[in-house]
Amino acid sequence: MEEYLASRIKIERPIYEQDQIRKKYQYEEDPEKCSKFNCNENLNLKKGIVKLIPSIGWLAHYRWKTDFLSDLTSGFTVAVMHIPQGMAYALLGNVPPVVGIYMAFFPVLTYFFLGTSRHNSMGTFAVVCLMTGKSVLEYSNPSYFVKNLEVNMTDDPLKQKIIYDYSPIQVATTVTFVVSIFQLAMFFLRLGAVSALLSETLVSGFTTGAAVHVLVSQIKDLLGLRIPKYKGYFVVVQTVKSIFEEIGNFNMAAIIISSVTIIISSLNNELIKPLVAKKSSFPVPIELIAVIIGTLASKYGSLPDTYNITTVGDIPSGLPYPEVPQFSLITSVVVDGFTIAVVSYTITLSMALIFAQKLDYEVDANQELLAMGSGNMVGSFFSCMPFTASLSRSLIQQTVGGKTQIASVVSCCILVVVLLWIGPFFEPLPKSVLASVIVVALKGMLMQVTALPSFWKLSKMDALVWLVTFLTVVIVGIDIGLAVGILMSLLSLLVLNFKPYTCLLGHIPKTDLYLDCGKYRAAEQISGIKIFQYSGGINFATKCIFKEELARKVEINPQKEIIYRAKLAKYAQIKEESILKPKVAKIERIQNKITTDVRCIILDFSCLSYIDPSGVSMLKGVVESFKKLDIPIYVAAPSDKVYEMMSKCNLLDEKKALLRTFPTIHDAVQWASDIFNTNLNSNISIVSRI
């Protein structure tokens, strides 16, 4: 049927040049657009408020009878996960465990009103907590860590004499405040697209490297070792070195607790959870069970006194009093704050987009910046670290049946009860249990290393970005690794920009199709016409590449060709009888170098994304040099932006008649074939020329 239809399709229209198309079909260079201040939507105060506070809109249409039960179940499940994860990840931030539960309450309530994702479970996340913990360790007074272990300061001689007089909570809340400032600034500047700087490859390599940091930081608690906390760079290297030096002083009780917790949690995740999921959407809260059993065993078995087990320690009851962040510390943590702001936003937005695509609803990237910035601002006054979305909790929230962020409100209500009355119950909890919970939760991020072979198959450059980012994060540090990863991503874009795809197009007989001659056997080059396709952009950096690729593909170097023709003309003036045999041979060699079969070159600009004034200047020079060889150049299918740039730079000046442009390749070919009497085998007839 397709072949039958194709044989009957016939297109009859005039040959158009680009300017004729624009005039005939009334192209407007700057069409009037509705100003954001004149649009009815923005003049409507009600819609403006709903846009600023999305919860007002969807709460008005919330189906309480059908959706609330699902959100209630989901909220309870997520709250159960928040308790062990919050306490465990807070330790990564070098702050008291209760901070992790604070983070699941204050900023999450703010996100409920302002966020646009219905399924993101906001709160603690291992990578963000670890990045915050770096600043906490750097700028806190070491005396706060003496009860666990003194901070090792010998890795940075320049900072040995600097003793900061800040508590871990003060440093963490100041970092949170700085993060909120950056995210709110990005919102007002409409920079939601900044997350595009962090590609999927970069994020994968970065989070995998950060997961290695987390894993190494938990080995001491898993084995019951007492080693110093290192700060600065090469933390993983120094920590691993200390672990090997102290490996003989392991605590067998801690190892047993860790092993049992990890084995049971892993068996639950790999075997029990899939079986339970078939019968019930409510998962087995294995982390909470481990925390409760660990707490009871430690308390009634006197594990700290008998086996010297390190426990969580003091957990205050009640909600924290509001406290202003330490503004004097802002300049010190501004770099870390910016890094955390971008990373946490990227992770949150990525998860939000995944759920939005899966469940068919929209997420506003800039509104997410407002929600996160506002949540962090509130959290900075209530002893919170920067919050972000958790993949594991978000998946559970959606899988259990959560419909909206009402599930987060339910979770917050349950956690208030924990903060007011239940918190001190977990004081005897061994740290090895929390370390085990963290390690089991890291599996997903650590398994991202298996994605490297697939990245390598798809793109060597992407694989290199992943590998360099991962190794830099692991060996040097998280912040340096992120910076190097971004630079590598930008460098890869630059390298790819310097390797544009170019080819010669051939004609498919009896059609108006023009395809790559090197890849389509049926594509036939038209006698006397070279059709050159360039994919990419032409700017000051790539203009020479375009020029070289054009000369290579059409096999004509205008400068050399002009020289050859000048020499041939010079020898032609010499009388034939006076020419010696060596001269005759030289003339023949020159004639062989001169291209005689190319009568016209068509530049296919359908894949040209951009051209700047430098590129237009180069193109003008190319056109003029080929014109000296009596080889005209036509441009086919330029975008409006490319056409306008060429027009502004006087390349399309009708008086100079340097260049002709056509809306399609076929128009250009038909024009050239009419002029040069080139025979084309096509079933598309052109009825007349304008």
Burial of 589 (0-12, 13-18, 19+ CB in 10 A): exposed
Amino acid at 410: V
Rg, Å, the chain Cα set: 34
Distance between terminal CA atoms of the chain?
35
Same domain, 483 and 508: no
Residue matched to tokens 């059709």 = 531
Residue 9, pLDDT score: 52
Distance CA 498, CA 492 (A): 10
Tokens of 508: 């498919």
Contact 486, 197 (CB under 8 A): yes
Same domain, 285 and 391: yes
Distance CA 518, CA 160 (A): 65
Same domain, 332 and 479: yes
pLDDT (tens digit per residue) in 342-393: 999 989 998 898 888 888 888 998 999 999 999 999 999 999 999 999 988 8
Contact 597, 530 (CB under 8 A): no
Same domain, 432 and 405: yes
Residue 32, pLDDT score: 47
Distance CA 132, CA 668 (A): 61
Same domain, 234 and 190: yes
Q: Is the dihedral of CA 18, 23, 29, 33 positive or negative?
A: negative
Distance CA 166, CA 488 (A): 36
Contact 677, 645 (CB under 8 A): no
Instruction: Give the number of domains in the chain.
Output: 2
Distance CA 176, CA 326 (A): 11
Distance CA 57, CA 47 (A): 9
Contact 122, 108 (CB under 8 A): yes
Residue 157, pLDDT score: 47
Alpha carbon separation from 644 to 29, 181, 397, 600, 612 (Å, rounded): 9, 40, 51, 24, 11
- DSSP at 105: T
Domain that holds residue 519: 501-556+595-676
Distance CA 557, CA 599 (A): 14
Residue 533, pLDDT score: 94
Contact 507, 658 (CB under 8 A): no
Tokens of 536: 């990419």
> What contacts 665, CB < 8 A, 6 or more positions away?
505, 514, 531, 602, 604, 606, 636, 637
CB atoms within 10 A of CB 521: 9
**276 within some domain:** yes
pLDDT (tens digit per residue) in 185-242: 999 998 876 666 678 888 899 999 999 999 999 999 999 998 888 888 899 999 999 9
Same domain, 484 and 506: no
- Hey, is 468 helix, strand or coil? helix
Same domain, 474 and 506: no
Distance CA 569, CA 558 (A): 16
Domain boundary among 472, 493, 514: 493
> What contacts 667, CB < 8 A, 6 or more positions away?
15, 16, 17, 636
- Single out the residue of 509, 426, 537 nearest to residue 91, CA to CA: 426
> What contacts 86, CB < 8 A, 6 or more positions away?
97, 99, 100, 101, 103, 104, 123, 124
Contact 367, 184 (CB under 8 A): no
Mapping DSSP onto H, E and C, the string for 144-177 reads: HHCCCCCEECCCCHHHCCCCCCCCHHHHHHHHHH
- Single out the residue of 670, 666, 640 nearest to residue 652, CA to CA: 640
Indicate the angle between helix axes 200-223 and 431-441, nearest 10 degrees: 150
Same domain, 543 and 454: no
**174 within some domain:** yes
**For the chain, which residues score pLDDT lower than 50?**
1-2, 4-6, 32-39, 41-43, 148-150, 154-161, 575, 577, 581, 678-690
**403 within some domain:** yes
Distance CA 386, CA 384 (A): 7
Same domain, 359 and 461: yes
- Single out the residue of 25, 203, 233 nearest to residue 127, CA to CA: 203
Contact 678, 529 (CB under 8 A): yes
Same domain, 148 and 289: yes
**566 within some domain:** no
Length of the chain: 690
Domain boundary among 493, 523, 538: 493
Same domain, 363 and 508: no
CATH code: domain of residue 623: 3.30.750.24
Contact 553, 530 (CB under 8 A): yes
Which residues is 603 bridged to in the sheet? 532, 635
Alpha carbon separation from 152 to 149, 369, 662 (Å, rounded): 9, 37, 70
Same domain, 417 and 523: no
> What contacts 630, CB < 8 A, 6 or more positions away?
none
Residue matched to tokens 């201040």 = 37
CB burial of 3-21 (b: ≥16 within 10 Å; e: otherwise) equals eeeeeeeeeeeebbbbbbb
**585 within some domain:** no
> What contacts 514, CB < 8 A, 6 or more positions away?
505, 506, 507, 508, 523, 531, 604, 665, 666, 669
> What contacts 587, CB < 8 A, 6 or more positions away?
568, 571, 579
**21 within some domain:** no
Mapping DSSP onto H, E and C, the string for 517-585 reads: CCCCCCCECCCCEEEEEEEEEECCCCHHHHHHHHHHHHCCCHHHHHHHHHHHHHHHCCCHHHCCHHHHH
Burial of 113 (0-12, 13-18, 19+ CB in 10 A): middle
Phi/psi at 123 (nearest 5 deg)?
150, -135
**435 within some domain:** yes
Do the bridges between strand 122-123 and strand 388-389 make them parallel or antiparallel, or are there none, so unpaired? antiparallel
Domain boundary among 470, 493, 516: 493
**28 within some domain:** no
